[in-house]
Structure 1
Amino acid sequence: MADPSTYRPAPGSIPTDSGVYRFRDEHGRVIYVGKAKSLRARLSSYFQDISALHPRTQRMVRTGASVEWTVVANEVEALQLEYSWIKEYDPRFNVKYRDDKSYPYLAVTMGEDFPRAQVMRGAKRKGTRYFGPYTHAWAIRETLDLLLRVFPVRTCSKGVFNRAQQSGRPCLLAYIDKCSAPCVGWISPEDHRALADELCDFLAGGTDRFVRRLEREMKAAAAELDFEQAARLRDDVTALTKALEKSAVVLPDGTDADVFALADDELEVAIQVFHVRGGRIRGQRGWVAEKDAQDLPELVEHLLQQVYGGEEVPREVLVPVLPAQGEDVAAWLGERRGSRVTLRVPQRGDKRALMATVERNAVQSLARHKVARAGDLTARSQALQELQEALGLDDAPLRIEGYDIAHVQGSDVVGSMVVFEDGVARKSEYRRFIVRGDVDGRTDDTASMHEVLTRRFARYVKDRDAEDTSQDADQPTEARRFAYPPNLVVVDGGAPQVAAAQRVLDELGIVDVALVGLAKRLEEVWVPGDDHPVILPRTSEALFLLQRLRDEAHRFANTFHRERRSKSMTRSALDGVPGLGETRRKALLARYGSVKRIRAAGAEDLAQTPGIGPALAERIAAELATTQSTPAVNLTTGEVLDEGEPG
């Protein structure tokens, strides 16, 4: 680790203005982003007395190799720039608020031609509206089942929808009045989108308006003696009322607010938030994070920054303590919302009572986390230390990369690279490789491992050299995916795989990366140049860490291999048309639905498809005419496929 004094800026060179600063490590990777009202005061605090800093901050300063800053006009600009840099660089020493569990959302895919309502987890997608998060997926399904009676939007998958379109027969949900069946034209695309908009408005909090409208329609139908329609509307009102009963009113003034509460100790902090829309609790969410040296106001500021970086900002945000620059944070939130946002600490009444409930949830969340993770941090530190000692490394391997090869009898060969930092998987750094094979066509494991590692480390050498010669200091190193090396490389296999990997490092002149192989049969650790493996104790935390890394690389490689193999298992008459690539094939299938319908269309009609010109349309028509008797087949089983299935 670096001596902080070697890169400490001269005190007079640091401005006293507001700004945002970045610490970089020896490879140019941004490891921490922060902002300060006075850059000189804040940066000087990192270098005055290292021993007085929080242990995590000490490690960050010693890992760093340089620091740079950007002056801004005010605190609001500093907040915006800090947020954008944290999002861009994902610095390892910035506190990350990780969910204490995976929360499901009720999502409506408004970006599709026929919007679909479904349960979704994970990263949010563009063009999709999300409601929640909910505590349980079954709660979403129960609520959605009630709402489909009033808002019968599509809930089926793309495959089911396409099959219904091709067959002209809707699914069961259409016959029980829980889908308007846009797949067979029972409703126009415009009317179906209007239904989806109404569902989104209801979920966003406009509940009373829909109930009152249905009640008016019910009374009007009864007055006209249309009792059957009145009974249906009565049942619709009952369904909406039941859906509303699932979320009790907690704020009678119908407020849209997010209520945050914290519970902390010396090392960690648990955060809970209740999402209140229209006065009702629409969802709950929680995080647990390392506390670092931040005080609570600074912690709340960073929390709001991360939460509302990609989420909708409500009209009111209730917090346990105000950030140090509360007015600036409120102004930043207002800019993201597009209107004024109230940021305050509730003092009395219903909002204070709700805050107390959220605080109790935070306390319980922290207690559960400590029971579940009591030995995790110690085990990770012990594993890294044991690896350092067993392999004779100068430092603990904070970044470890694992590699594996997957194929079936030499076909569809792929490679995987997984990354563990500080003993934890860092999935954003994972990479997949399609193995091309060498000039002799060899596809054995050692040749494949040699190719994968050559491509990875040749890119590292190229990016490293580009960084050394680059004159553009503002160009982010992270734009170059492999611009920094691991401390340790782990390959799946024994001495042959390790020898192939070591040959790559020797060919590229890389001497600062350690290498081992983990053989499956006896869990032996092979080191380059040694005739005998290193045997780690079966109860060793270091062995457990290597096994987790190896198994993750194996899982990641097999997943990619299955994807590749499934794409190559079928062939269609469209595959042999010169000049017809995957994008154009998808456009044709999306328009016509099947190869049979494409064959029936003339060249002039085919030319109306986006991306298909007259010459290509003629080739397609001619090719399909000559292959009319050749059905699509499964290459593995030989089974003849329905031409309605995309090739």
Structure 2
Amino acid sequence: MADTSLDEDAPAAGPAPRGPAATIGRYALLERLGAGGMGEVFAAYDDRLDRKIALKLLHAHLGPEDRRRFRREGEALLLENNLIKEHRPRFNVKLRDDSSYLVIRLDPKQTWPRLELVRKIHDDGVQHFGPYHSASSARATLRVVNRHFQLRTCTDYVLQRRTRPCLQYQIDRCPAPCVYEVDEASYAAQVHDVGLFLSGRHRELTDGLKARMQAAAEGLRFEVAARLRDQLQAIETTLTAQQVVGTAALDQDAIGMYRQGGQVEFTVLHVRQGKLLGSEAYSAKGLEHPDSEVLADFVSSYYAKAPLLPDEILLPGPIAEDDAAPLQAWLRERKGKKVGLLTPERGDRRKLTQLAERNAAANFVTRRNRAEDRELALERLRQRLQLSKPPRVIECFDVSHIQGSDTVASMVVFVDGEPDKSRYRSFRIKGLGAGDDEAALRQGARQNDDFTSMYEVLGRRFRRAMQDAEGAWALPDLVVIDGGKGQLSRVLAAMQDLGVPTGAEGIDVVALAKERKHALGHGRAALRELRARRAAGDERGWVEHAIAADGEPQVEVRPERVFVPGVKDPIRLRPGSSERYLMERVRDEAHRFAITHHRKRRGKRSLRSALDEIPGVGPTIKKSLVAHFGSVAAIRAAGPERLAEVKGIGPALAKRIAEALGVP
């Protein structure tokens, strides 16, 4: 889509392919940004608006050489997708994504087929279902299928090496073809039913199950008939929850658009065989083109990434005449047959587009309110913590270890109140290793000293910023440390040593201390002590709530506090406030990310340590084990017989390894 509000630092895709005096009407061409479905897009200067815009030039405006380059509109649309990913121009919001949608893959020709989540569709003749715009919706679909159909969920590697059935067999969700003999025809029937279910051919699925149930009952195979009956009832219950919105036995996408000025919200409703299966919401801003052009750009951008196309695309209004025919030809080429591009005015199809438009309007209001809430939270946080500027980019650091072993640190980044996971980083603490206790004592610190670890992490982080000041390591507005005054002072020292300015002249730094409990005593004496502290200005006199039980001391729960440089007493954020919620969310995300990395390292080290203690196991044997089994979990799950299959491991050594790892 065209975003006409280009910034000065918008990335350039190359020099303008015209002379220095290239002008078209009131537009002065500056540089070429990329190729669009109907032509090429240039950064241009608009004399009337007195600012930069993005200008799409249709083929009628281009020279013969450019026309030959884009002789087919389908090629131009595919090229647009590639160029957007390569150059990332800001005018096209919807294609600025390196990832593709998730698709469920099912290969019926595979031995014991299973469902897989993939992002790319290869022309290998297998079935694909989707797309799913979020991983959560795709995995929710997999959970439903696994609950109602008995297909294996393990990988091919595990299938070939498993010696006993897993939990899925115990709860009757898999026939365990890895261990037991399974009727291939029965399994193939399950695979066929899964294909019908995911394709939306629900009537065909239920009719087939009823016929098989009746045949099993007539053949006196009552256990099979009962299982089919239960499966049929469960599937019908699931299908009943789906909203019926039409009677057409087609796959349809209904697009709704809502616009206020340059801000546009799109909603795509996915209707399969008359049932509404899901929806997707998208937004764009800074658009000043007519609705017909904006809608055409959205359709081309959206379906350039969609792996599977519906039979009909229902639009809320007409698209640009110059775009309609080439776009329909390109859709036909992608699907292999005609795709209806309709603008309904009455009937069920019009009701679908109206429903999509109402959803787009509601999503627009929700998104706007959410953005306003984030802006308000950032401003309140700036005022409450006395920051020099609104903290639009927040970085939070946390250290994780167990008694000083496998010490790691995390850095999470929030931009405008939302996590930016592409900028997350994890650090392995290098300062002190095993066996350095004597040196650590001389330095007055140990490896599990969070102060020393934090000093090292901040030093490494800000040295990277000196090398990449404008990229992924660009400096934030606010640094949040999980800790108290000690951690805060260590961070400030690290930044001072590196010459990184703090406070009003640079980066704001605060520390968020966790909630603590403090025993006050019994009854009224405890309350008098609490009031006296409060009157004296003691921070322990202010409690968020207290826990009291009959005959037991009253416990004061000190709320989380924020330590700010230059402020003597910590600052408390009001319970339930948006600024407190934001700070807790940032801190909890840093904690989660650090623990995840720590557990991975600890798991690898525990296996390595266990193998090191086994006589006869050296570096070569350890490398062979990992190469043969592929993962730590697979080595632990292997028995002595399978361990003996590894080159260099005999029966005696395999038995010792199994005993050391606790393999049954």
The normalised TM-score by structure 1 is 0.66
Contact 1:146–1:242 (CA under 8 A) maintained in structure 2: no
Query: What is the aligned counterpart of 1:578 among 619, 635, 648?
Result: 619
Residue 618 of structure 1 pairs with residue 648 of structure 2: yes
Name the residue aligned to 2:425. 431
RMSD of equivalent CA atoms:
5.6
Correspondence 1:317 to 2:329: no
User: Match for residue 46 of structure 2?
Assistant: 45
Distance 1:620 1:126, change over 3 A: farther
User: Whole-Å Cα distance in 2 between the matches of residues 595 and 536 of structure 1?
Assistant: 48
Q: Which residue of 1 aligns with 2:641?
A: 600
- Aligned equivalents of 2:49 and 2:595: distance in 1? 51
Kindly indicate whether the alpha-carbon contact (under 8 Å) linking 1:383 and 1:545 is maintained by their aligned counterparts in 2: no
Unaligned runs of 5+ in 2: 1-5, 55-65, 434-438, 441-445, 515-559
Distance 1:551 1:623, change over 3 A: same
2:376 corresponds to which residue?
A: 379
The Cα of 1:415 is off from its aligned counterpart by 0.9
Matched, 1:452 2:457: yes
Distance 2:660 2:344 in 1: 69
CA contact (8 A) 1:108 1:200 kept: no
- Matches of 2:154 and 2:422, distance apart in 1: 30
Task: Report matched runs for 1:211-610 at 5 Å.
Answer: 226=219, 228=221, 235=229, 247=242, 250-265=245-260, 269-277=264-272, 279-281=273-275, 283-287=277-281, 289=283, 291-294=285-288, 295-301=290-296, 303-304=298-299, 305-306=301-302, 309-324=305-320, 325-334=323-332, 336-337=334-335, 339-366=337-364, 373=370, 375-380=372-377, 382-383=379-380, 386=383, 390-392=386-388, 396-438=390-432, 440=439, 442-443=446-447, 444-463=449-468, 481-482=472-473, 484-494=474-484, 496-505=486-495, 508=498, 510=500, 513-520=506-513, 523-527=561-565, 530=566, 532=568, 538=574, 545-568=582-605, 574=611, 576-580=617-621, 584-585=625-626, 587-588=628-629, 598-600=639-641, 605-606=645-646
The 10-residue stretch of structure 1 (321-330 or 420-429) with the greater mean CA deviation from structure 2: 321-330
Deviations 1:361-399 (A, max 9, x none): 4445556666x6385144145247648x93445xx5432
**Count of residues paired in the alignment:** 556
Paired position in structure 2 for 1:60:
none
What is the rounded CA distance, in whole Å, between the counterparts of 2:296 and 2:196 in structure 1?
30
**Structure 1 counterpart of 2:544:** none
- Cα separation, partners in 2 of 1:241 and 1:488, compared to 1, 3 Å: closer
Alpha-carbon distance change, 581 to 349 in structure 1, aligned in 2, over 3 angstroms:
farther
| Displacement of 1:189 | 8.0
Distance 2:649 2:155 in 1: 33
In 2: Cα distance, 1:619 partner to 1:256 partner = 57
Inter-partner Cα distance in structure 1 for 2:624 and 2:270: 41
Residue 187 and residue 209 in structure 1: after superposition, are their counterparts in 2 closer, same or farther (change >3 A)? same
CA distance in 1, matches of 2:492, 2:418: 25
CA deviation profile, 1:8-61 (whole Å, cap 9, x unmatched) = 999937687999628xxxxxxxxxx99995655x521399525x99xxx9xxxx
Q: Which amino acid aligns with 2:370?
A: R
Give the distance between the partners of 2:624 and 2:184, measured in 1 at CA. 24
**Structure 2 match to 1:182:** 177
1:285 is displaced (CA, Å) by 1.4
Separation in structure 2 between the aligned mates of residue 361 and residue 115 of structure 1, nearest angstrom: 38
Per-residue Cα deviation, 1:184-214 (whole angstroms, up to 9, x for no partner): 2332789847743551244214456556666
- Is the contact between residue 97 and residue 287 of structure 1 (CA under 8 Å) also seen in structure 2? no
Query: The residue matched to 1:390 in structure 2 has which SS?
Result: coil
Q: Structure 1 residues 179 and 498, CA, compared in 2 at 3 Å: closer, same or farther?
A: closer
Secondary structure in structure 2 of the residue aligned to 1:184: coil
Cα deviations across residues 219-278 of structure 1 (Å, max 9, x unaligned)? 8889xx73548967984995576766555765544222211223444586554332223x
Displacement of 1:453: 2.5
Change (3 A) 1:270 1:332: same
Cα gap change, 1:44/1:582 in structure 2, threshold over 3 Å: closer, same or farther? farther
Query: SS of 2:399's equivalent?
Result: strand
CA displacement at 1:88 relative to structure 2: 6.0
Q: Please state how far the C-alpha of 1:418 moved relative to its aligned partner.
A: 1.1
Q: Secondary structure at the match of 2:356?
A: helix
Structure-2 change in CA distance of 1:538 and 1:452 (3 Å): same
Given the superposition, is the C-alpha separation of residues 358 and 627 from structure 1 closer, same or farther in structure 2, using an over 3 Å criterion? Answer: closer
- The residue correspondences of 1:43-122 to structure 2 (distance < 5 A) are 43-45=44-46, 49-50=50-51, 73-74=69-70, 79-84=77-82, 86-87=84-85, 95=93, 115-116=113-114
- Summarize the Cα distance change of 1:437–1:21 in structure 2 as closer, same or farther, 3 Å threshold: same
CA distance in 1, matches of 2:606, 2:347: 64
* Alpha-carbon displacement from aligned partner over 1:294-342 (angstroms, at most 9, x marks no partner): 5544543454424652542223221213444344444554555455433
Q: Which moved more, 1:585-594 or 1:486-495?
A: 585-594
Cα drift, residue 631 of structure 1: 3.2
Instruction: Measure, in 2, the Cα distance between the counterparts of 1:546 and 1:597.
Output: 45
Give the structure 1 partner of residue 543 of structure 2.
Answer: none
**1:595, distance to aligned residue in structure 2 (A):** 5.8
Larger radius of gyration: 2
CA shift, 1:524, in A, is: 3.7
2:267–2:356 contact (8 Å) kept in structure 1? yes
In the alignment, what sits opposite 1:12?
20
Paired position in structure 2 for 1:631: 660
SS at match of 2:410: strand
Q: What is the match of residue 547 of structure 2?
A: none
Structure 1 residue 500 displacement after superposition: 3.9
Q: Distance in 2 between matches of 1:380 and 1:462?
A: 32
Tell me the SS of whatever aligns to 2:595: helix
Q: Distance in 1 between matches of 2:147 and 2:454?
A: 54
Helix, strand or coil: the match of 1:416?
strand
Once the two structures are TM-superposed, the CA of residue 414 in structure 1 deviates from its matched residue by: 1.3
Q: Would the aligned equivalents of 1:386 and 1:541 in 2 still touch at CA under 8 Å?
A: no
